[in-house]
Amino acid sequence: MVVRDQELIRDLQDGSDLAFVTLYNRYKQAAYVYCLKMLGDVDAAKDIVQGTFLKVYERRSQLRFPERFKAWLLKIARNECLTDVIDEPESTVKSRLFTARQQLYELLKPMFDERR
> Model confidence over 47-102: pLDDT tens digits?
999 999 999 999 999 999 989 999 999 999 999 998 877 677 778 878 888 998 99
pLDDT tens per residue across span 3-33: 899 999 999 999 999 999 999 999 999 999 9
CATH number at residue 68: 1.10.1740.10
* 3-class DSSP state of 41: coil
The reply to whether 21 falls in a domain is: yes
8 Å CB contact between 48 and 77: yes
The reply to whether 69 falls in a domain is: yes
Separation of alpha carbons 35 and 74, rounded Å: 9
What local confidence, expressed as pLDDT, does residue 20 receive? Answer: 94
Judge if pTM exceeds 0.85: no
Q: Domain limits at 69?
A: 5-88
What local confidence, expressed as pLDDT, does residue 45 receive? Answer: 95
Closest CA to 23 of 44, 2, 46: 2
The reply to whether 27 falls in a domain is: yes
The reply to whether 80 falls in a domain is: yes
Separation of alpha carbons 116 and 84, rounded Å: 45
* 3-class DSSP state of 63: coil
How many separate domains does the chain show? 1
- Contacts of 55-63 with CB under 8 Å at 24 or more apart are 55/80, 56/20, 56/23, 57/12, 57/20, 60/9, 60/12, 60/13, 60/20, 61/13, 63/9, 63/13
Q: Which residue has the higher pLDDT, 25 or 112?
A: 25
The reply to whether 13 falls in a domain is: yes
The reply to whether 54 falls in a domain is: yes
The reply to whether 109 falls in a domain is: no
Q: Which residue has the higher pLDDT, 6 or 114?
A: 6
Q: How many helices (H) and strands (E) does the chain have?
A: 5, 0
Overall average pLDDT of the 33-52 stretch: 95
The reply to whether 94 falls in a domain is: no
pLDDT of 116 higher than 70: no
Separation of alpha carbons 108 and 106, rounded Å: 6
